[in-house]
Amino acid sequence: PIKVKVSDSPVKVLRDQDGFIPCTITGYSRAELDLQRLSVHWTLGSGPVYMYDRGSHNPIRPGSKLSDRELIRGNAGLYIPQAQIRDEGEYTCTVTFNKKKAEGRFSLEVSVKPSASLVPTDVIMEEGTGGAVTCKVNNYYPKMIKFRWIKHLNDGEHVVLRKRVSTNEPLENGDGTFTVTSQLLLKPSMGDDGGKYSCVISHRSLGNVLNFTLHVKGKYGCRV
């Protein structure tokens, strides 16, 4: 019987990269498939993406492709150029050959790398007054993201700061990406001058670390 070979691992791409979702047909007896007896239907959820019926190609998703040369060899993989967030999800590859049907499901993950910044970039605070440092992350996808604020110690170790840390709920942008900020409140003494800190960002698309040095001014406006 005809079968479709599936993969347990999702296909992962960044937005605007080309994606290829594999679908391998097995269980046929000849060296090559007779394309006049073959149909391959790709769907995303319940929506059609690509329809191939006995030599006739109908790409519903603009730019998507199946290759006749590869289909003959049992490769019904779907090419998706410049993947977008809307292309993410579970795909079904339904193959019909000689009136026998098989299908497989495949996941496509589309991620958008965040752009991150620290505000202010030069962290200068007056002794006894303090202020806030904001770690801002723009235009990323998917929504889930984690922040850690770290203080580096002189012996090469570090401590994770949990007090005086607040992280906002991510806001969705018009293009489906998200923006979020995390804030660290500091009230330093002169002994904290020159202290090294980091905002550590963890996201599906990457890991990112933003470092800053805390400068503390004396009460009369001069560094000590």
Question: Which residue type occupies 126?
Answer: E
Q: Distance between CA atoms of 111 and 14, rounded to whole angstroms?
A: 5
Query: Tens of pLDDT along 93-139?
Result: 999 998 899 999 999 999 999 888 888 877 777 777 778 889 999 99
Question: Which residue type occupies 209?
Answer: V
Positive or negative, the CA dihedral 167, 172, 173, 178 is positive
Question: Do 130 and 188 contact (CB within 8 A), yes or no?
Answer: yes
Domains for the chain: give ranges and CATH numbers: 3-111 (2.60.40.10), 115-217 (2.60.40.10)
Q: Is the pLDDT of residue 170 over 70?
A: yes
153 exposure class (CB count in 10 Å sphere: 0-12, 13-18, 19+): exposed
- Mean of the per-residue pLDDT values of the chain: 88
| Strands 19-21 and 78-80, sheet pairing | antiparallel
Q: Is the pLDDT of residue 171 over 80?
A: yes
Question: Do 93 and 103 contact (CB within 8 A), yes or no?
Answer: yes
pLDDT for 216 equals 61
Give the residues across from 178 on adjacent strands: 140, 172
pLDDT for 222 equals 36
Mean pLDDT along residues 166-191: 90
Question: Rounded to 5 degrees, what are φ and ψ at 72?
Answer: -55, -35
pLDDT for 193 equals 76
Q: Which of 54, 90, 48 is nearest to 71 (CA)?
A: 54
Q: Is the pTM of this model over 0.75?
A: yes
Residue 29: partners with Cβ closer than 8 Å, 6 or more residues away:
none
